[in-house]
Amino acid sequence: MKKVAVLGSTGSIGTQTLEVISRRSDLFSVHSLVAYSNGEKLQEQCEQFHPQYSQLLTVDSDAMIKAVKGADIVMVATRGISALKAVLYCLDNGIEIALANKETLICAGKLIKERLAVSKAHLYPVDSEHCAIWQCLNGQKPASLVLTASGGAFYNIPTEQLDKMKSVDALRHPNWNMGSKITIDSATLMNKAFEVLEASVLFDVPLCDIEVVVHRQSVVHSMVRYPDGSIIAQMAVPDMRLPILYALTGGHHVEGCVSQLSFDKMLSLTFERPDMEKFPCLKLPAYIDGKGDLMPTVLCAADEVCVEAYMNGDIVFGDFYKIISKAVEHFSGILPPVQTVSDIEETDKKVRLYTKSLIYEVL
């Protein structure tokens, strides 16, 4: 029986993690729950799962460290880089990690990998594409990785109409039901840009060996190319409870909550190159390549500010790339190499301020 700490328990991944745990209560119990501000939902979860510890981050900013102590595995499903210190604490103390949150890994890739190399603990990816690649790799050396992208809510909208599309439209994702931030990021393809960076860190593959293909049906979750020309793909219905369970078990295919993929109901599977002119955010990983360890933090922080501004109606769809690439240009060459957590946190703050100034003072 594994004791699970759930960081971000009130969110989309957090609630699905609790569903998986309650379905497989023979394998898992809830050790602790941490949320940010939704006290009502956290209270309901406590009544159902009786954790040893639960807290809101708005009440105690150290809640994540307190929550992971004594856990066997920690589901990291918070927003942004808020869980960074808790992730490093887990690695230093041999506590296993199931990582849904991609920002932490992208921004602190170097620090996390240094710790992982000497840690007793493992870090298991929950993001469906990375979970798929993990399954396809099976310990072998790939030639390259192929990430699939659903294309998001605006894939079929003509370019000239994109600036008329509002955040409520972007929040109607065709295949996945996720939190608002990642759903907006799916519409801009910024989420895929983050996932390219995430895959590079996780699997030690250079950015030039990671391709993205648009696969509207979200049935093939990603693929690995091998030197002999073989491509191995992982397929399943689009349901995050599958990668959540796979990560919590440490990489085992056990029965959970997800139905089998039916070939009777399945339409054709299609694959096409993404339109980089229509969705230029996808160019950003190549754009920051070689520009320094802190550039992913610039992307994450600038994007988070843009998502908030877009949700408030302060910017239009086409502004995402303009603003984020301006932030990248501004910070190129002036950031030091990452040494500590505070290097990342300080850069995050600076980039937020700069991005806000671009939106609210210049534009």
Closer Cβ to ligand NDP, 175 or 337, answer by number: 175
Told to check if 239 binds Mg ion by CB under 5 A, we report: no
Q: Which of residues 94-153 bind ligand NDP (CB under 6 A)?
A: 100-103, 127
- Show the site string, 124-143: x = touches Mg ion by CB under 5 A, - = not: ---xxx--------------
Told to check if 198 binds Mg ion by CB under 5 A, we report: no
Instruction: Please give the Cα distance from 65 to 69 (Å, whole number).
Output: 7
# residues near Mg ion by CB under 5 A = 3
Binding partner of 12, given Mg ion, ligand NDP, none, CB within 5-8 angstroms per partner class? ligand NDP
Question: In sequence order, what are the beta bridge partners of 144?
Answer: 225
> In angstroms, what is the minimal distance from the CB of 100 to ligand NDP?
4
> In angstroms, what is the minimal distance from the CB of 148 to Mg ion?
9
Q: Which of residues 139-168 bind Mg ion (CB under 5 A)?
A: none
CA distances from 264 to 216, 247, 267, 268 (A): 18, 29, 8, 11
Closer Cβ to ligand NDP, 39 or 274, answer by number: 39
Closer Cβ to ligand NDP, 174 or 179, answer by number: 179
Told to check if 303 binds Mg ion by CB under 5 A, we report: no
Binding partner of 100, given Mg ion, ligand NDP, none, CB within 5-8 angstroms per partner class? ligand NDP
The residue from 69, 79, 278, 322 that contacts ligand NDP (CB under 6 A) is 79
Instruction: Please give the Cα distance from 61 to 57 (Å, whole number).
Output: 5
Which range binds ligand NDP by CB under 6 A, 11-19, 134-142, 225-233, 244-252? 11-19
- Show the site string, 35-74: x = touches ligand NDP by CB under 6 A, - = not: xxxx------------------x-----------------
The residue from 4, 13, 87, 328 that contacts ligand NDP (CB under 6 A) is 13
The site for Mg ion (CB under 5 A) is made up of 127-129
The site for ligand NDP (CB under 6 A) is made up of 8-14, 35-38, 57, 77-80, 82, 100-103, 127, 176, 178-179, 181-182, 240
